[in-house]
Structure 1
């Protein structure tokens, strides 16, 4: 980096993570919460390295699970800073699995993430970094950044809507859990819960209504786009609400609301984030199966679900194209 300019290629951060049995379900495939956490760790490290300071996750595009990571494989997570504004850095994160003894890499996940540069008081700051491509291989990622700038506009509108909301989750078959944020939930900023830790909790909570009310074993297929309205801090009591908002033949959509408050200083909880997770019913071999019991949903709720599924399918097609660019960069070709 020189003079505030940063080549996309130079921004690369790589995370290598062996997949141990403790990271997997009973089918030997990687838990979605672990995968999301590692994807966010890599994105956070890339943004902090580029901005030369603290960053916090502001928004994330759909995190798609393209294929399951399996026990014994090595997961390689690549993160590139593909664009910036005065106070934000946009990061493309791509993960692929490789067999322990060698063999062809298999795409596992892809996501686009926006990080806000902040100071030690978690106040937004200007980072002074201008990101640019420095090779033909990285030029397509400029278009990825433009796509993400447009795609996240609705998320910023959602942030304004949920920032001051104390309304409970609008879903059926709701379940609620609580936990306190402790220092071990932080990453680099010692007072703020890291998104990688939070997504592990979100993944665990999303499975509860999905499994309980369908009677099926479930695996995570991905997380929808999400924006963070406020941080959860050490000492906060975090509330996770999860409920079903849609169902297909073998999958259910689960909405998760994250809220927090400091019980010593706040009487009213604040919304941290609102997102949807897709959970897929599987048989004893880990293959998709029809839902044993289908949730009862109103016509209005079903229409909302079908529209979100349409948008999800569109984004997945875009994600497949992004994966091809990421694979080329990761391979060095």
Structure 2
């Protein structure tokens, strides 16, 4: 077979393969779309989703409303959920503001972040540099942090890169955290391989976050000083921190086995006064930023084993006194909201 015939055969085969892939994709999308149009498999409610003390989350029940923001009363987490028209991949909420990170599918996917009122009005919108990862609001909703992947698809990916930016509710960017000054063990440092993620606000002037050094695989808990634009390391092997309501502890995930794609993350709690770390009794690997239900209880999302696309929210005592318990089926990215 001469080169011209060889390349003609390759081209023809490629066209057939591309056509088959296109047909398969169209059929798969049609099936996916039909599943989304079916009635929701979760019990739903017509109440106002933003009323009362509540847990706000991404609904992952099959049928209408899949991927939409939903809520359940704080007093009845297993009860009927109110589902909104807003679609998010990651979210956080206060009593009157919601931060929503979203992937917009298309021939060329795009990624956006936005702030919403409880009525569903967009007050701010910004582009993300890649796949949505984490978002957190300050208690009064005046600041919002968003993290997205620049390359890679998860924190388990070797050589991943993230971008974390803090903005005001009025739309002013405080810049990427990589532009801020970093102090490691009190010494100024500017490693080129640093990545930041997992912001959790203490108040309007300070926050905690993770800085990871890709080359060494080291992760640090850092405290951010917003007026000074500085980040100071406090402890090692800390990822995705979440400060407790009483601001005395930080819940986080810690690598307890493996590394990179095989990393196993276990939830733990860091006492800010003593430096003591309590590893919690959760045998599964947790790849989520923990949320505090109250000063004694943690919440986090877990993929459901054997059910692609299905996730549930679990609760766990922050002192490790009990085993994990299923709190909300078909839910993800929980946020606890109490009315002012």
**Normalising by the residue count of structure 1, what TM-score does the alignment of the two structures yield?**
0.26
Larger radius of gyration: 2
Structure with bigger strand share is 2
Structure with bigger helix share is 1
